[in-house]
Each structure stands twice: as C-alpha cells, then as structure tokens.
Amino acid sequence: MKLKQITACLVAATMFGSNPVFSQGSPKISNDVVKIGVLTDLSSTYSDLAGPGAVIAAKMAVADFSKDGTVIGKKIEIVSADHQNKADIAANKAREWYDKDNVDVIVELVSTNVALAVMEVAEQKNKITLVSGAGSLPITNEKCTPNNVHWTYDTYALSNGTGKAVVKQGKKNWYFITADYAFGAALEKDATAVVTANGGKVLGTSKHPFPNSDFSSYLLKAQASGADVVALANAGQDTINTVKQASEFGINKKQTVVPLLMFISDVHSLGLNAAQGMYLTEGFYWDKDDKTREFAKRFMLQHKRMPTMVQAGVYSSVLNYLKAVQKAGTDDTQAVMKVLKSTPIDDGLFKGKIRADGKFEHDMYLLEVKKPSDSKSPWDYYYVRAVIPAAEATLPLSQSKCKLVNK
C-alpha cells in the first residue's frame, strides 16, 4: 500500500472509528425518515383499550417531542394497521413494514400471540419492538429478544398486585376462567403461584375460546366449585362479558369475581354499579397527579375517552424512543437500544428503568373501583389503595430465564 493510501486510511479511522454507524457507511437516519408503526387491534376485542386510542397516543408523543415533527432534522412518520389479534397477519404486516415500508420500530402489539410473532420478525430483521398491550411474562422471560422493551405491565405484576391483595383478604379458594391462548395461560400460571404461596389453593379452571361471548357454562362450573374467588384470566370485551354474565347469574353475591386484568375502558363500559368494589392493578391512572391529568385531558379532547394504561404506554414508549434516537444521533437499532437501556425514564406518566431483559421496571398501582355515590365526576372511578414498588412488581432478574441476563 502506498504512503498516501495509508495516510488516508488512518485519517478515516480517526474520524469515523468511534461511530459504528459511519464506519459501516450508512446514514444517521435510515431512508431519511424515522417511521413508527402502530400495530394494534383496531376493530375487535381489544380495540377499546388499545386500538384507535393507541394511534392517537403515538401521534401525541410525536407532537410533544417536536413541534415540526422531526428528529435530528428528519421527518417522523406514524403508520398504523389492524392485526386482528392474529399472529400470522401481524407477522406478515411486520415483514412488509420492515422490508418494504422502511418502518424502524413497531409499537403497541396488544395480545401475546401477536407480540411474540412480531418480536421474532423484528429480531430477524434487526428492528425494534416496544410492547404496551400484551402482558405475558414470557415476553421478557424465556421469549425475550435484544431489540424489545416490554413497556406497561405483565402477568407477574398483575398477580402480585390484585392476586396477592385478594388472598390477603382471606379469600383463599380460587376458580379460574381463562382465555385459551398464551396470555390467559401465563396470567393463570402467575396468579396460581401467588395464591398458593400465600396459603390459598386452586379448586379448578375452565378455558374459553378467544374471543368469546357466552360464558354461562364456565360460570356455572365456577359457581358449583364453591370457590371464594372466581378469577378471570382474560381481558377486554371477554372480561366485560364475563363480569356482566356473572352478575346476571347472581354469582357476585356469594363469590368474589376478580378480573386479573381490567382497564378503565372496561369499568366505563360496565358502569360503576356493576364494577364497584372490584380490585385491579394498573401501571397508569389518569387522575393520579397533575401531570397525568394534563396528559389525559389532552387525550380526551381527541379521543373522547380517558386513556387506558396501554394507550399511555404507547405515548411513553414512542416519546422515549424518539428521545433515544436524538441522543444516539441515529435510528440504528443497537445504538437506540443501548440508549434506552442505559437512560432512566421519567416522562410524567411512567418513571423507572429498562432492565437487561427488556422489561421497563416501574411502579404499579392497586386500585379499587368506587361506588357510584363516591364518584365525583366523569371517569372518577378509582381509589388508589397501594403503590406496588417497581422491584415488587417485576420478576427478579435472579429468577429470569431470559438469554440476555447474566446471573
């Protein structure tokens, strides 16, 4: 090699060697746009708790991050699609977005089968997923990926919130009505562990198709079991239907119906007369403090409903993703994930840190649904009965099966 060539190589190494993005000859922002895909349930069981509200939340995050809708001088674009709660549809859309439409990150992903399918595609394509709607513990446990963050809640948090609180009230014998797919199985498993660890026992379980409308046969079995608690390991419209039918059968007069996952949208649909006294665990409540109220009121103006924790999680995940892109100076996957996992998060809605396994560790809240006479205004639905510290709401890393965790 001639002297001039050697000198040129040394200069290039000095200028670009510390920046892996430049050393590979790629631009700071791929395709000159940061594109965020909101892949959600726009028309079915989970559309009320996620759906169009999740798209609005993502757009609000972009607007709050940048008045002109840019990051590092490049346009931010939001696209959305309906996965219909089907893993194959979700995976195909993810491939199309990543390969053809230059989407950098996919967010929301309500329902576990969808989240796991898209996470797998993202890992293959070296892209990012930020999960707010799905809740199964395996997302950051045995099914974890290096490019994913589980943002809002999981089945471990729900069980250690609602499950533990109900058992401590002396209601020891449980019967589960469980959605027959990955999320339901994970929630039942984690809740069972909490129940038995606190001296209770499970008398039986019934698994129902997802989605479902008629829960009469499952409720009659639960009633016949004589259990103290009829625990619902389902979500969204399935939970609403189960609670309504339990009330029609009078089951809630002799047994305690416990939805292990319930959203403020579910309480709104049920009404306080039907939902009063129920305990639930959430990662966000719009009326917690001044910052959550300010966000919620702006959201309400656009969506005509208060935000669920899933929709708040979408806002938080998109906002912090954009902050990470800005700090990293690139939308390169590894660079952005490094910033996300090394930067404490405090955006007014959530506060915590992202662990090695991709779990966003933050406080959760044990809530009790108010009586109608105690509600002072529309959407004033909850008492905050306890704050569940982040460390208690999250599976200890020492127990993790995630391949990313060094124990």
3-state SS of the chain: helix, strand, coil percent to 5?
45, 20, 35
Specify whether the CB–CB gap between 358 and 144 falls below 8 A: yes
Tokens, residue 350: 């959530």
Instruction: Give the pLDDT of residue 406.
Output: 84
DSSP 67: T
Q: Distance between CA 222 and CA 211 in Å, rounded? A: 19
Q: How far is the CA of 159 from the CAs of 136, 185, 342, 392, in angstroms?
A: 11, 13, 28, 11
How far is 132 from 349, CA to CA, in rounded Å?
13
- The conformation of residue 370, written as its DSSP 8-state character, comes to P
Q: How far is CA 316 from CA 60, 85, 229, 242, 298, in A?
A: 10, 23, 34, 31, 15
Amino acid (one-letter) located at 216? S
Whether 32 contacts 39, CB under 8 Å: no
Residue 43, SS3? coil
What's the one-letter identity of residue 254? K
Return the exposure string of 230-254: e unless at least 16 CB atoms fall within 10 Å of the residue's CB, then b. bbbbbbbbbbbbbbebbbeeebbee
Number of Cβ atoms within 10 Å of the Cβ of 295: 22
Whole-number pLDDT of residue 126: 98
Picking from 117, 103, 108, 124, the residue whose alpha carbon sits closest to that of residue 30 is 103
Q: Tell me the per-residue pLDDT of 127-169, one tens digit each, with 9 for 90 and over.
A: 999 999 999 999 999 999 999 999 999 999 999 999 999 999 9
What pLDDT does residue 27 have?
Answer: 52
The distance of Cα 62 from the centroid of its chain, to the nearest Å, equals 19
DSSP 355: -
- Indicate the average pLDDT of the chain: 93
Q: Is 331 helix (H, G, I), strand (E, B) or coil?
A: coil
For the chain, which domains are there?
30-153+288-358 (3.40.50.2300), 156-282+364-390 (3.40.50.2300)
**Which SS3 state, helix, strand or coil, does residue 51 take?**
helix
Structure tokens at 222: 């639960």
Q: Which residue from 115, 391, 379 is spatially nearest to 265, judged by alpha carbons?
A: 379
* Cα three-residue angle 71-81-52, rounded to 5 degrees: 85
> Left (φ > 0), alpha (ψ -120 to 50) or beta: where does 85 sit?
left
| pTM of the complete model | 0.92
Find out whether 310 and 339 touch, Cβ atoms under 8 Å. Answer: no
User: What is d(CA 298, CA 404) in angstroms, rounded to the nearest whole number?
Assistant: 38
Q: What angle do CA 11, 12, 15 make, to 5 degrees?
A: 85
Rounded to a whole number, what is the distance in angstroms from the first to the last CA of the chain? 48
pLDDT for the residue 22: 37
| Pick from 245, 235, 237: nearest CA to 215 | 245
Determine the pLDDT at residue 407: 58
Residue segments in the chain with a per-residue pLDDT below the cut of 70: 1-27, 407
